[in-house]
Structure 1
Amino acid sequence: MKRLVVATHNQGKVREFRQLFSKYDIETLSLEDLNQDVPEVEETGVTFWENAQLKAETISSLLNMPVIADDSGLEVDALEGKPGVYSARYAGEPKNDKNNLEKVLSELNGEQNRKARFVCVLALSLPGEEVIFERGTCEGRLAEQAQGETGFGYDPIFIPDGYNRTMAEIGADEKNKISHRSEALEKIETTIRELLK
């Protein structure tokens, strides 16, 4: 497995996967890099697992290549786990990061409990094999307002446990050490090493 397709058009996610996979000497391709029309996989699942599996299996069978897909999002305790699987479109269509985080901040206005976590479920689909899943989390709390210029999604309002700055302020290198996606990938690392033998 020297080439792996990351099942996303989200360039922020692609950058993170490329950084994380570089140590495995795996060429990471996004859906944008492929010279073929890959249809958007509708995320009809009600869990992170279902959506990740849908994307990974559909695209892997279409391309006959190894595909890794993730479904990830923000769970806010005071909002009973919302936005959860609807994180990317929480403020409605079309997807808009700024509108999403503004909606969350608005819903938390005056709320003392700001505990939240990022969740990532990775699904690795190899042609003809069972899908492999791993889950990673990053615990933290939500800031009162957006801060920082790096990252994407809810990064400007998420302060990881042990930090006083948001994910958007700590920078990509630091974020990749502690992120939910990084934790999920670390768990799947053993499997990837075995597949590369």
Structure 2
Amino acid sequence: MTPLIMVTGNDHKFSEASAIGRQLGLEIEQARIRLVEIQTADTAEIVDKKAKDAFARLGRPIFVEHTCLHIEFANGFPAGLTRTFLKTLGDDKVCELFGAPGRNKATGKTTIGYCDGRRVHQMDGELHGVIADRPTGALTGWGQFGWSRLFIPDGYEKTLSELGIAEKNRFSMRRAAMSKLADLLKAPK
């Protein structure tokens, strides 16, 4: 099978996707192309634009992804604006505002966009849980990536950061979306 190209400048995302891909029988290579990421809460719109842009620049099938956090108490916000939300508020403030019972339910969602030149196929994976009352886990490397220090998946008592990458990759929203991508690619044409 020809290696699948993931367009991302984020080494953490690539590392996770690559490890999960190997488990699913996919060989993934990284293309570091800086893509314009539109600012909207609409994840599907973000992924569609990024996938079309990446395909236009490389001229071959690619995939992109966007992972975000949806906080139930905030009507699903920040969604596609998660990076800006976290950068603006910081981990401590997010936990202060949304880490209490009644305000802490959240869903992590990964949307993958695979562009084959004819269309963009989108696949979603979700992980339900809660916002922790305080950030926990590593302050460097993968453990501080995104909202890993803030999110406790249902059925666990630790944040994703505390669980570690290998455990997270067994059940994460990225895993669910990558499984759907593998099914699409392996389906008879």
TM-score between both structures, scaled by the size of structure 1 = 0.84
Q: Deviations over 1:129-174 (max 9, x none)?
A: 2211111100001111111122511111100000011100111111
RMSD of the TM alignment (CA)?
Answer: 2.2
Pairing 1:87–2:76 present: no
TM-fit CA distance, 1:39: 4.0
What SS class does the counterpart of residue 63 from structure 2 fall into? strand
For 1:153 and 1:74, the matched residues in 2 are separated by: 9
Which position in structure 2 is the counterpart of 1:30?
A: 31
For 1:44 and 1:30, the matched residues in 2 are separated by: 22
Structure 2: any 5+ residue segments left out of the alignment?
A: none
Superposed structure 1 runs of 4+ greater than 4 Å apart? none
Letter in 2 for 1:22: R
Conserved? CA contact 1:60–1:67, under 8 Å: yes
- Out of 42-51 and 151-160, give the one that drifted further: 42-51
**TM alignment of 1:89-104, pairs within 5 A:** 89-91=84-86, 96=87, 99-104=89-94
What SS class does the counterpart of residue 53 from structure 2 fall into? helix
Equivalent in 113, 125, 128 of residue 115 of structure 2:
125
Letter in 1 for 2:27: I
- Out of 79-88 and 134-143, give the one that drifted further: 79-88
Aligned length: 184
Which position in structure 1 is the counterpart of 2:47?
A: 52
Q: Deviations over 1:90-123 (max 9, x none)?
A: 15xxxx49x5433422322656331111011111
TM-fit CA distance, 1:48: 0.9
Pairing 1:18–2:8 present: no
Which position in structure 2 is the counterpart of 1:190?
A: 183
Conserved? CA contact 2:65–2:111, under 8 Å: yes
TM-score between both structures, scaled by the size of structure 2 = 0.87
Which position in structure 2 is the counterpart of 1:69?
A: 64
For 2:20 and 2:29, the matched residues in 1 are separated by: 10
